[in-house]
Amino acid sequence: MFLLLPFDSLIVSLLGISLTVLFTLLLVFIIAPAIFGVSFGIRKLYMKTLLKIFAWATLRMERGAKEKNHQLYKPYTNGIIAKDPTSLEEEIKEIRRSGSSKALDNTREFELSDIFYFCRKGMETIMDDEVTKRFSAEELESWNLLSRTNYNFQYISLRLTVLWGLGVLIRYCFLLPLRIALAFTGISLLVVGTTVVGYLPNGRFKEFLSKHVHLMCYRICVRALTAIITYHDRKNRPRNGGICVANHTSPIDVIILASDGYYAMVGQVHGGLMGVIQRAMVKACPHVWFERSEVKDRHLVAKRLTEHVQDKSKLPILIFPEGTCINNTSVMMFKKGSFEIGATVYPVAIKYDPQFGDAFWNSSKYGMVTYLLRMMTSWAIVCSVWYLPPMTREAEEDAVQFANRVKSAIARQGGLVDLLWDGGLKREKVKDTFKEEQQKLYSKMIVGNHEDRSRS
């Protein structure tokens, strides 16, 4: 028979007490509030404390750099050189005016100076590419004690280095294990809870339980990221039979929105752990999952989505029409598919605060596991969510125009740059149609001048 020595017995007892205390704290301060949707304000106090530390660290870094005559890198505020929007015709006319002392002659079909417009545009694109910079992490002006977010990270002083080292210990030795435990708890409860609810007969009771199981589990997952979310205009939250569309920065966008609302998800069927979660979720809620072979069939996808939104008793569908993650400085082209089916659209703007951790997923640089590790070793995820008033397609609008109108509303509310470019350029070359569009605009201007001269 194995007997424990007094010292070993003491260690086991202390370990048991520590685990009991830790579990009790998790239950009281994290899991229970997640179940009832309340907060004790601990995360906001944590955020305010971090802001004061970041301000001191940035000030100390700037002072140390000044003493050592080091030049600090200063990024653009939003990573783009602001320009007033002008049309091709207006810019070419301006070039013609600047190249001639007399008034512009509108009857001219072509001028050699027109070439300079296209040359200048090409040079501007090389110097200030407003597309590819949307697929890299945003550089911070201040230091948040994370070496991954500031090029100025270097040895400044012993105190600053000790503070950074202490931050590493807190993030990796305390926050990371705690967050992994919470994420495991949330995902496990989601799988078990939705599986059990799935065996209940359809009705109001099943719908009630399914809603609260989803909300509880997503709220626990939100706490696993120490996410501090501010929701605005909740009266505009999506309703049954509609489509919720939002700008897309990260896979956690889904958790951010689903912790405050009940949605039907749309996506491709996966294997592994994600497949287990999908199969469990669909038992309790009518999510729309597509097989890999079905995803590229636009007519089938549109048919399934149309059938879903026509049933006003079904949950609103959550869709990210950009189709890829953008670094939260802009909104790029919305795919028109979800705007063709004639449903009420509920726009949502999501804006992250990169001071505490960069939520952007650069999928071409990091795999999912690496990305989640970076998220769980950040200080926190802080963001604001705005629910915009519902929008419907107008009689004279086509799907593309409607999508652009919704996109502009989201960009305006979130303080994001509204870009016409396709997010697919992250992995693909510029389509010939974009080049042809510029050629058509120039040709239309020349032909228009020619027609006006013929009439006269």
DSSP 375-412: HHTSS-EEEEEEEPPPB---TT--HHHHHHHHHHHHHH
Name 352's bridge partners. 383
pLDDT band at 238 (very low <50, low <70, confident <90, very high): very high
Average pLDDT over residues 291-311: 78
Distance (Å, rounded) from C-alpha 17 to C-alpha 20? Answer: 5
Given this model, what pLDDT does residue 438 score? 65
Lowest mean pLDDT among 17-21, 189-193, 388-392, 406-410: 17-21
Given this model, what pLDDT does residue 99 score? 55
More confident residue, 120 or 49: 49
- Is the distance from CB of 175 to CB of 167 less than 8 angstroms? no
Distance (Å, rounded) from C-alpha 55 to C-alpha 40? Answer: 25
Q: Is the dihedral of CA 247, 252, 254, 255 positive or negative?
A: negative
Given this model, what pLDDT does residue 351 score? 93
Distance (Å, rounded) from C-alpha 152 to C-alpha 73? Answer: 6
Is the pLDDT reported for residue 454 higher than 60?
Answer: no
Helix or strand (DSSP H, E) at 446: helix 432-455
Average pLDDT over residues 419-430: 64
Residue 63, number of CB atoms within 10 A of its CB: 12
Given this model, what pLDDT does residue 257 score? 93
Lowest mean pLDDT among 333-347, 389-403, 413-427: 413-427
Is the pLDDT reported for residue 390 higher than 80?
Answer: yes
State how beta strands 264-268 and 288-290 pair: parallel
pLDDT band at 302 (very low <50, low <70, confident <90, very high): confident
Average pLDDT over residues 30-56: 78
As a whole number, the mean pLDDT across the chain is: 77
Average pLDDT over residues 166-171: 88
* Residue indicated by tokens 């000044």: 66
Name 387's bridge partners. 348
Question: pLDDT tens, 1-12?
Answer: 445 556 567 777
Residue 300, number of CB atoms within 10 A of its CB: 14
What backbone phi and psi angles, to 5 degrees, belong to 230? Answer: -110, 120
- Is the distance from CB of 152 to CB of 190 less than 8 angstroms? no
More confident residue, 452 or 347: 347
Given this model, what pLDDT does residue 253 score? 92
Name 351's bridge partners. 384
Is the pLDDT reported for residue 194 higher than 70?
Answer: yes
pLDDT band at 154 (very low <50, low <70, confident <90, very high): low
pLDDT band at 255 (very low <50, low <70, confident <90, very high): very high
Is the pLDDT reported for residue 42 higher than 90?
Answer: no
Is the pLDDT reported for residue 233 higher than 50?
Answer: yes
Question: pLDDT tens, 76-125?
Answer: 444 433 444 555 566 666 666 655 544 444 545 556 566 666 666 665 55
pLDDT band at 428 (very low <50, low <70, confident <90, very high): low
